């Protein structure tokens, strides 16, 4: 059981990291970035590609992947989001355009087999792979009857450190305050001299970098890297997490992530793997019906 | 005559604010009843309570002559509409993508039978009803002054502003209401258009319709209503004939901010004098005297929102060290001017130069960096951030952390509120405290020109005093200020020079003292 | 290219050799129309994939275990989908915009993962074999019902219901002030969408020998969304055109079939940015468009006589 709880913490960390990126964009831009899960997948794919196809050491590959994912965030902003803002399009449009980008990202990887256009990136088409053994140092420790893998500890450590750093930046730095200002009241922020477009671009960069990191950590922890890990593993669960925690709330995303990890593990232990999968959505559905703003979110009102 | 609508001790609060505080009134059948009051007094909240968009927390709202009266409180908006209460919206809510005919036809919804089967099999015998509906829609359009042949097929969003307002009335009439509530039907219109609105209201009333009218235009309200109620801070402070209400000292105070002087105090009643649009002369005084230099020069500014010309051919200038006031009623275009100066809106024509830069093409953040800072209407403090964080963000454009730190401390000493509440979320401060925070925040950006938009809005009289003291202080310390205010008399007390703005144009200008004594100013201010 | 050549020179042969494709286009059109109905009332829902599943599974299960004629099975499947739609709509329709979309996503996945994959009668992960399927005959009900459905939906948009939907889409608050019972009409649109999706799901099983749970996922819902958005959300033809174009695209351009999703994605982005009302924009969102409105003649007559 304790082993399971540990698993819950590890997987919860990944959910939390993913959800924080998701909710950051929603809080600041009022947009649900459905390409986020595709970036998650690309984080894993790019890291794998560098390590397995190009022989780059893991840590370095991971850093590069995270950076590239951040840049992909800029692509999302400039291709799918900014043009819509310039045209005063309704928020639903952003949903659709990010869906479009996600489709493109996934399809590119899905179709990449040896001899195709993108074979430098990926050669396994729709299959799932894992990091080559030995590519990532993974000492195991045995403590108090529990098995602790080095990689999973690394994941936990990275996640916690990152979330602390992010929390610090948002709460205590001028940039963090500017972000919160834009999230709360775009006009007031503009009148303070904040360049809102720049804030949006930075937010997307940061959010996508986090998403990519979550992806590569996922691929590492669960030995599962495929074009579909975004869609199958986190896209909808990520939604469940931010709905649970409250859309736009970062502490909510963190709490929600660990909460979901916990719920899933408990459901698995109690009911078996079949129910576990549907649990996230049952939770999502219930929360939306009972308390749409989630645990930490703010109520939404329309002015007459 | 019997009362058609009867409100008794209606109450509604939001958080700590009593938006409507025990209001009781009666509207007699067949009359035109006016509801007035300063911004934030609770007029629209009251309307939303009557029409079901907000639930009253206590009190009753009864519709219908005694005996057949039905309770409206706590019912759904569509149910209330079907009971015979129609309304227009302050912010104009037309179905913009639908044609004018469509809008009116939708308005008829409640009076229309379900015709799914008839529509599925559109036999000639079934054409009778759609044609009747269309005929009725045409008649309604005619009634509000829109020719069906010209306007019927046009998309509502493409109509001119005045026509859109009229279309909304036609749509409201489609439900054959017993009571029609008009929420600022003449907002943003010029005197000619307003007169047409007035005529329409009279016409509808002559046909037997009971009307509840909410508006800021005193000339319109006084000229057309049989009876008027005045709200202030959620309470009714007067209720009677137009003549009685306009002479009521408490009403005058609420609107003007202080007891109007005996001489020249002239609250317009039924006068229909049109404002003398004598060519506005920018008082050559400013050009001649202050050699310290022109900071801001605005020429022939034209700003429009779609079809609405919000600012028309506005020109004025500000010299270093002055306080200039822009006064005028709600909707006159003052905030639009400020937002154009801050770069949030772009003009259709005209120019605005500030210390050598062209405000009409510079990005908003650069404008702030260049020293033009706005404290917006409604304060817009960042409610979820603390007082201290708000202040720190005020200095966003600055690099000198040490100096900022010192200044924040200095401001906290000077305005003890900021010091005491420094770690509280700004949303928890009272209105007046927030205003002071907003001004302090603006100061931290080291503005060369500070734009203040309605600093006294929604504030109790003592807080207004405090705020204006602050404004005087910072001006004495050398900040150039452009002040926009509905509270004309207070603004004119502090201003060196002022401009009166009405429906997007500058009507009068002069020094503060001159305009304060000018009876036409009162007319213009209250009649704008 | 030979695709088009065959289409125009020898339609009969074209039909025979592309039956499955035509049937699929038909099914996708009905699905896209089901989305159109909810769109028309201003709601973005992705629940159709779930309602499809209800219709599909019910029909097949009934045909496997009950000796009832197929049309009955289809009818029951459709009605059951509508009933589920009603139940799902009750809690969900209070939500606006994004939250509604997310809730419906939640429903679809909960249905698929929680119910379908766990209840033995559905064959769980393996799906169900449908020996009664009739790929050639099955196309007939599809081709017959599509124009009927399109016509009915079109006429609905002209009826009182349709006017209410358009008003709600444009401005919900104003709609209530015009006496429109907003929650009621939203539910009506939602249930009709569910019925249509259930019907399409039932029809689709008739042309496939196999019912597969992965067919009814959010991915499918997004695909249908693409048809509706790209085709046009202003009138009934839009979704049909969208379904037609995007379903047959992989057939027309062989190379595209591999990168179909890329093409879908690009089309989605381009359409939503540059032509948000879709390919078939028609007369815009107005209910009564000038050229199709017979009353126009009456108007002109009246105008003429008035002068």
Which strands, in side-by-side order, build the sheet including B70-71?
A: B17-28, B3-14, B58-63, B70-71
pLDDT at C196: 96
3-state secondary structure of B360: coil
Residues 6+ apart with CB under 8 A from C274: none
pLDDT at C153: 93
User: What is the residue extent of each domain of chain B?
Assistant: 1-84+177-268, 97-175, 284-381+446-527
Beta strand ranges found along chain C (DSSP E): 128-129, 210-211
The counts of H helices and E strands in chain A are 12, 2
Residues of chain B with C-beta less than 8 angstroms from the C-beta of A188? 376, 380-382
Residues of chain C with C-beta less than 8 angstroms from the C-beta of B124? none
pLDDT at C253: 67
pLDDT band at B39 (very low <50, low <70, confident <90, very high): low
> A4 to chain C, minimum CA–CA distance in Å?
22
- The CA-atom distances, in angstroms, between B397 and each of A194, B401, B453 are 8, 11, 21
Question: Cα C91 from chain centroid?
Answer: 22
> A109 to chain B, minimum CA–CA distance in Å?
40
pLDDT at B24 over 90: yes
Q: Given a contact as 3+ CB pairs under 8 Å, which chains touch C?
A: A, B
Cβ contact, residue pair A277, C115, below 8 Å: no
A66-70 long-range contacts, CB within 8 A, separation 24+: A66/A209, A66/A212, A66/A213, A66/A216, A67/A209, A68/A42, A68/A212, A69/A39, A69/A42, A69/A43, A69/A208, A69/A209, A69/A211, A69/A212, A69/A213, A69/A215, A70/A205, A70/A206, A70/A208, A70/A209, A70/A212
pLDDT at C289 over 60: no
pLDDT at B298: 93
How far apart (Å, rounded) are the C-alpha atoms in residues A117 and C178? 57
Helices (H), A111-195: 150-172, 174-184, 186-191
Question: Cα A188 from chain centroid?
Answer: 29
pLDDT at B18: 81
Q: Write out pLDDT tens, residues A213-244.
A: 999 998 888 888 888 888 877 888 888 888 88
Q: What are C's interface residues with B at a Cβ cutoff of 8 A?
A: 151-152, 155-156, 158-161, 163-164, 166-167, 170-171, 173-182, 284-288, 290, 294-295, 298-299, 303
Which strands, in side-by-side order, build the sheet including B85-87?
A: B85-87, B179-183, B210-214, B32-36, B227-232, B235-240
End-to-end CA distance of chain A: 53
pLDDT at C294: 33
| CATH code of the domain made up of B284-381+446-527 | 3.40.50.300
Neighbour count for residue A269 (Cβ, 10 Å):
13
Neighbour count for residue A52 (Cβ, 10 Å):
19
pLDDT band at B331 (very low <50, low <70, confident <90, very high): low
- Which region among B50-54, B338-342, C21-25 has the lowest average model confidence (pLDDT)? C21-25
pLDDT at B383: 85
> A139 to chain C, minimum CA–CA distance in Å?
36
Between A and B, how many CB-CB pairs are < 8 A?
70
Interface residue C258 vs chain A (CB under 8 A) = yes
Cβ contact, residue pair B396, A188, below 8 Å: no
End-to-end CA distance of chain B: 33
pLDDT at B58 over 70: yes
pLDDT band at B49 (very low <50, low <70, confident <90, very high): very high
Please report, rounded to a whole number, the percentage of residues in chain B having pLDDT higher than 90.
Answer: 35
Neighbour count for residue B410 (Cβ, 10 Å):
11
Q: Which residues share a beta bridge with C129?
A: C210
How far apart (Å, rounded) are the C-alpha atoms in residues C159 and A119? 55
pLDDT at C109: 82
The answer to whether B1-84+177-268 and B284-381+446-527 have equal CATH topology is yes
Mind listing the domains of chain C with CATH numbers? 18-306 (1.10.3470)
Residues of chain C with C-beta less than 8 angstroms from the C-beta of A76? none
pLDDT at B270: 26
User: Can you read off the two tokens belonging to residue B15?
Assistant: 């958080």
Where does residue B49 fall: left (phi above 0), alpha (psi -120 to 50 degrees), or beta otherwise?
alpha
Q: Write out pLDDT tens, residues B84-107.
A: 999 999 888 999 888 999 999 999
pLDDT at B294 over 70: yes
Q: Write out pLDDT tens, residues A121-144.
A: 888 888 888 888 777 777 777 777
Interface residue B110 vs chain C (CB under 8 A) = yes
B460 vs B286, more confident: B460
Between B and C, how many CB-CB pairs are < 8 A?
122
pLDDT at A290 over 50: yes
pLDDT at B353 over 90: yes
Q: Write out pLDDT tens, residues B243-280.
A: 888 888 887 766 654 433 332 333 333 222 223 333 33
Q: What secondary structure, in 3-state letters, does A25-45 show?
A: HHHHHCCCCCCHHHHHHHHHH
Instruction: Report the length, in residues, of chain A.
Output: 304
pLDDT at B390: 92
3-state secondary structure of C7: helix
Mean of the per-residue pLDDT values for chain B?
82
Burial of residue A86, with CB atoms counted within 10 A of its CB: 0-12 exposed, 13-18 middle, 19 or more buried: exposed
Query: DSSP of C109-127, one letter per residue?
Result: HIIIIIIITT-GGGTGGG-
pLDDT at C283 over 60: no
How far apart (Å, rounded) are the C-alpha atoms in residues A47 and A286? 37
Half-sphere exposure of A272 toward its Cβ, with a 13 Å CA cutoff? Answer: 5
pLDDT at C113: 77
pLDDT at B371 over 80: yes
pLDDT at B158: 82
pLDDT at A92 over 80: no
What's the fold here for domain B1-84+177-268?
A: Rossmann fold (3.40.50)
Compare CB distances from B175 to C163, C179, C287 and report the shortest one's residue.
C179
- The CA-atom distances, in angstroms, between C91 and each of A287, B30, C176 are 11, 43, 20
Q: Write out pLDDT tens, residues B477-507.
A: 889 999 998 777 788 889 999 998 877 888 8
Whole-structure pTM value? 0.81
**What number is the ipTM of this complex?**
0.83
Neighbour count for residue B277 (Cβ, 10 Å):
12
pLDDT at B291 over 50: no
Neighbour count for residue A164 (Cβ, 10 Å):
10
Q: What is the average pLDDT across A184-207? A: 92
Q: Given a contact as 3+ CB pairs under 8 Å, which chains touch B?
A: A, C
Q: Write out pLDDT tens, residues A93-104.
A: 888 899 889 989
Q: Which residues of B137-175 are buried (b: 16+ CB within 10 A; e: fewer)?
A: bbebbebbbbebeebbbbbbeebebbbbbbbbbbbbbbb
Question: For residues B394 and A177, is the Cβ–Cβ distance under 8 A?
Answer: no
Compare CB distances from C163 to B105, B122, B148 and report the shortest one's residue.
B105
Cβ contact, residue pair C179, B82, below 8 Å: yes
How far apart (Å, rounded) are the C-alpha atoms in residues A39 and A22? 11
Compare CB distances from A97 to C44, C113, C273 and report the shortest one's residue.
C273
Half-sphere exposure of A283 toward its Cβ, with a 13 Å CA cutoff? Answer: 27
How far apart (Å, rounded) are the C-alpha atoms in residues C26 and C17? 16
Cβ contact, residue pair C117, A277, below 8 Å: yes
pLDDT band at C100 (very low <50, low <70, confident <90, very high): confident
Phi and psi at B379, nearest 5°, equal 70, -45
Q: Write out pLDDT tens, residues B175-215.
A: 999 999 999 888 767 677 788 899 999 999 999 899 999 98
How far apart (Å, rounded) are the C-alpha atoms in residues A304 and B336? 21
pLDDT at B43 over 80: yes
pLDDT at A43 over 90: yes
DSSP class of B279: P
Q: Write out pLDDT tens, residues A49-76.
A: 998 888 888 889 999 999 999 999 999 9
pLDDT at B194: 82
Mean of the per-residue pLDDT values for chain A?
85
How far apart (Å, rounded) are the C-alpha atoms in residues B268 and A230? 68
A255 vs A30, more confident: A255
Mean of the per-residue pLDDT values for chain C?
81
Q: What is the average pLDDT across B458-470? A: 79
pLDDT at B330: 65
pLDDT at C305 over 50: no
- Which region among B213-227, B299-313, C227-241, C248-262 has the lowest average model confidence (pLDDT)? C248-262
- The CA-atom distances, in angstroms, between A288 and each of A25, A254, C186 are 20, 18, 18
Cβ contact, residue pair B365, A181, below 8 Å: no
């Amino acid at each position: 059981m304790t082993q399971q709880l540990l698993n819950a913490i590890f997987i919860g960390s990944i959910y939390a990291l993913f959800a924080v990126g998701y909710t950051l964009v929603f809080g600041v831009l009022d947009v649900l970035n459905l390409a986020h899960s595709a970036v998650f997948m690309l984080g894993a794919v790019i890291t794998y590609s560098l390590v397995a196809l190009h022989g780059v050491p893991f840590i370095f590959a991971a850093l590069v992947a995270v950076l590239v994912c951040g840049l992909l965030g800029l692509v999302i902003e400039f291709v799918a989001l900014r043009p819509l803002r310039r045209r005063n399009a309704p928020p639903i449009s952003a949903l659709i355009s990010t869906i479009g980008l996600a489709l493109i990202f996934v399809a590119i990887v899905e179709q990449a087999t040896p001899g195709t256009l993108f074979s430098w990136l990926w050669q396994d088409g729709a299959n799932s792979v894992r990091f080559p053994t030995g590519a990532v140092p993974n000492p195991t420790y045995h403590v108090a009857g529990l098995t602790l893998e080095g990689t999973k500890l690394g994941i936990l450590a990275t996640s916690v450190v990152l979330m602390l750093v992010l929390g610090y930046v948002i709460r205590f730095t001028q940039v963090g305050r500017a972000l919160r200002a834009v999230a709360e009241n775009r006009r007031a922020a503009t009148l303070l001299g904040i360049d809102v477009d720049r804030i949006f671009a930075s937010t997307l960069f940061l959010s996508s970098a986090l998403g990519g990191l979550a992806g590569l950590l996922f691929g590492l922890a669960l030995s599962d890297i495929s074009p579909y890990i975004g869609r199958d593993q986190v896209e909808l669960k990520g939604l469940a997490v931010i709905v649970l925690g409250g859309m736009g709330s970062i502490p909510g995303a963190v709490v929600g992530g660990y909460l979901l990890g916990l719920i899933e593990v408990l459901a698995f232990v109690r009911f078996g793997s079949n129910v576990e999968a549907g649990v996230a959505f049952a939770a999502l559905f219930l929360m939306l019906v009972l308390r749409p703003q989630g645990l930490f979110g703010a109520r939404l009102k329309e002015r007459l | 005559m019997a009362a058609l609508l009867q409100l008794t001790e209606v109450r509604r609060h939001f958080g700590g604010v009593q938006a409507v505080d025990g209001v009781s009134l009666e509207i007699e059948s067949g009359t035109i009843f006016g509801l007035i009051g300063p911004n934030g007094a609770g007029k629209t909240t009251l309307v939303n309570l009557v029409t079901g968009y907000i639930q009253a927390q206590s009190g009753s709202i009864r519709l219908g002559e005694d005996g057949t009266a039905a309770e409206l409180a706590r019912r759904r908006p569509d149910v209330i509409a079907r009971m015979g209460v129609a309304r227009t919206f302050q912010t104009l809510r037309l179905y913009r993508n639908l044609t004018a005919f469509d809008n009116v036809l939708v308005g008829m919804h409640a009076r229309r039978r379900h015709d799914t089967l008839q529509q599925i099999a559109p036999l000639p015998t079934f054409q009778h009803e759609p044609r009747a509906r269309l005929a009725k829609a045409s008649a309604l359009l005619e009634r509000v002054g829109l020719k069906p042949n010209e306007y019927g097929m046009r998309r509502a969003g493409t109509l001119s502003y005045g026509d859109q307002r009229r279309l909304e009335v036609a749509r409201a009439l489609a439900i054959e209401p017993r009571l029609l509530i008009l929420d600022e039907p003449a907002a943003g219109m010029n005197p000619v258009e307003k007169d047409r609105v007035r005529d329409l209201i009279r016409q509808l009333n002559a046909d037997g319709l009971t009307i509840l009218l909410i508006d800021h235009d005193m000339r319109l309200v006084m000229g057309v209503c049989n009876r008027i109620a005045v709200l202030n801070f959620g309470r009714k402070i007067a209720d009677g004939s137009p003549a009685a209400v306009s002479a009521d000292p408490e009403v005058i105070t609420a609107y003007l901010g202080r007891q109007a002087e005996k001489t020249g105090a002239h609250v317009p009643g039924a006068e229909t004098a049109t404002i003398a649009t004598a060519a506005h002369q920018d008082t050559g005084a400013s050009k001649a005297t202050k050699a310290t230099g022109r900071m801001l020069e605005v020429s022939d500014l034209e700003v429009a929102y779609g079809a609405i010309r919000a600012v028309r051919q506005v020109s004025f200038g500000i010299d270093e060290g002055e306080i200039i006031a822009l006064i005028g009623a709600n909707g006159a275009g003052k905030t639009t001017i400020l937002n154009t100066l801050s770069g949030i809106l772009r003009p259709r024509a005209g120019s605005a130069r500030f210390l050598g830069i062209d405000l009409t093409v510079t990005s908003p953040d650069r404008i702030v960096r260049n020293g033009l800072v706005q404290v917006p209407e409604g304060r817009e403090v960042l409610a979820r951030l603390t007082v201290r964080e708000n202040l720190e963000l005020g200095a966003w454009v600055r690099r000198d952390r040490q100096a900022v730190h010192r200044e924040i401390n200095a401001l906290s000493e000077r305005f003890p509120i900021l010091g005491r509440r420094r770690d509280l979320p700004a949303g928890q401060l009272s209105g007046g405290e927030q205003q002071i925070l907003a001004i302090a925040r603006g100061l931290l950006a080291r503005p060369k020109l500070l734009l203040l938009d309605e600093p006294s809005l929604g504030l109790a009289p003592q807080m207004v005093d405090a705020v204006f003291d602050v404004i005087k202080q910072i001006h004495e310390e050398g900040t150039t200020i452009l002040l926009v205010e509905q509270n004309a008399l207070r603004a004119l007390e502090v201003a060196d020079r002022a401009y009166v703005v009405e429906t997007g144009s500058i009507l009068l200008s002069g020094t503060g003292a001159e305009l304060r004594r000018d009876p036409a100013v009162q007319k213009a201010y209250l009649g704008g | 290219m030979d695709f088009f050549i065959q289409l125009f020179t020898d339609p009969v042969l074209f039909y025979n050799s592309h039956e499955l494709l035509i049937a699929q286009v038909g099914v996708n059109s009905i699905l896209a129309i089901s989305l159109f109905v909810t769109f028309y009332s201003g709601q973005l829902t992705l629940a159709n994939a779930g309602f499809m599943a209800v219709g599909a599974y019910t029909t097949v299960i009934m045909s496997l275990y009950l000796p009832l004629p197929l049309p009955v099975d289809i009818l029951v499947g459709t009605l059951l989908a509508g009933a589920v739609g009603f139940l799902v709509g009750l809690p969900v329709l209070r939500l606006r915009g994004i939250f509604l979309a997310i809730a419906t996503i939640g429903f679809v996945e909960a249905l698929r993962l929680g119910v379908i994959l766990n209840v033995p009668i559905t064959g769980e992960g393996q799906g169900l074999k449908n020996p009664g399927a009739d790929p050639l005959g099955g196309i007939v009900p599809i081709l017959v019902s599509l124009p009927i459905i399109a016509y009915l939906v079109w006429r609905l948009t002209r009826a009182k219901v349709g006017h209410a939907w358009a008003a709600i889409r444009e401005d919900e608050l104003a709609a209530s002030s015009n006496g429109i019972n907003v929650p009621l009409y939203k539910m009506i649109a939602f249930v009709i969408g569910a019925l249509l999706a259930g019907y399409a799901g039932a029809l689709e099983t008739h042309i496939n020998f196999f019912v597969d749970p992965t067919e009814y996922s959010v991915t499918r819902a997004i695909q249908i969304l693409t048809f509706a958005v790209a085709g046009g959300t202003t009138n009934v033809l839009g979704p049909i055109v969208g379904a037609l174009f995007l379903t047959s695209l992989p057939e027309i351009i062989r190379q595209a079939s591999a990168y179909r999703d890329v093409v879908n994605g690009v089309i989605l982005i381009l359409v939503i940015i540059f032509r948000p009302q879709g390919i078939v924009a028609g007369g815009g969102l107005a209910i009564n468009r000038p050229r199709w409105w017979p009353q126009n003649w009456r108007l002109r007559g009246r105008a003429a006589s008035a002068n």
